[in-house]
Chain A
């Protein structure tokens, strides 16, 4: 089905472990984004990508790594998870035109214990 898919939907991991959150979109949108949502902070941009092999930092990139070898995939890796990274993570995609807004995935709820 067309759309933007995030996996897993829920994840519990231990402090210090590496964890990867997946994001896949079927529209061939050029732009993809990772946000985290925390109470009192709304959504904050972690990383974004303008095209395959082009990525850039957002507002809160520390502790995260991204890659984009294919247009349709934009995984987010927490290299050594910390409790402060417990959050809900949203992936979004856009065709790049500011006036079209973004389309969001359903989110991944990550708990770091």
Chain B
């Protein structure tokens, strides 16, 4: 069955520092991969998505992610973090099973930004 693993539960970075959040997937075919962000008390917002083609994907808010098939990874990066980036980040994979394409989420990584 498809799954994603986010090995880091909590990460703290200083404002202005670079960020990398890890995501590893398990899926037999070419995966559709997503990163979502959840600000406190809010729903989930799509940051970016990968289906095929260029393995470096640009998203909103200055985020990017790189798909590496050899490592089964889809890590999220940002060159310079802002205090407003503090949130929870979820990696997800789509699997076409049953009657719908369904998202399976990782357990999330909580990002804290220090000033």
Residues of B within 8 A of A (CB): 6, 32, 34, 36, 42-46, 49, 51, 90, 94, 96, 98-108
Q: A50-B100, A101-B46, A104-B43 are in contact. List 7 more A-B contacts (CB 8 A).
A: A45-B102, A49-B100, A94-B100, A98-B51, A98-B96, A107-B42, A107-B43
Is A42 a contact partner of B96 (Cβ separation < 8 A)? no
Q: Which residue of B lies closest to A4 (CB)?
A: B43
Interface of A is mostly: strand
Query: Contacts A42-B105, A99-B49 hold; do A106 and B100 have CB atoms under 8 A apart?
Result: no
Q: Which bucket holds chain A's interface residue count?
A: 20 to 34
Is A56 a contact partner of B98 (Cβ separation < 8 A)? yes
- Out of B43, B101, B108, name the residue touching A98 (CB < 8 Å): B101
A35: shortest Cβ distance to chain B, in Å? 8
Is B32 a contact partner of A98 (Cβ separation < 8 A)? yes
Q: How far is the CA of A107 from the CA of B96 in the complex (A)?
A: 25
Q: Which residue of A lies closest to B6 (CB)?
A: A42
Q: Which residue of A lies closest to B104 (CB)?
A: A45
Within 8 A of B (CB), among A82-109: 90, 92, 94, 96-99, 101-107
Q: How far is the CA of A35 from the CA of B104 in the complex (A)?
A: 10
> Which B residues touch A74, using CB under 8 A?
none
> Which A residues touch B46, using CB under 8 A?
101-103
Q: Which residue of B lies closest to A103 (CB)?
A: B46
Is A106 a contact partner of B106 (Cβ separation < 8 A)? no
Is B103 a contact partner of A96 (Cβ separation < 8 A)? no
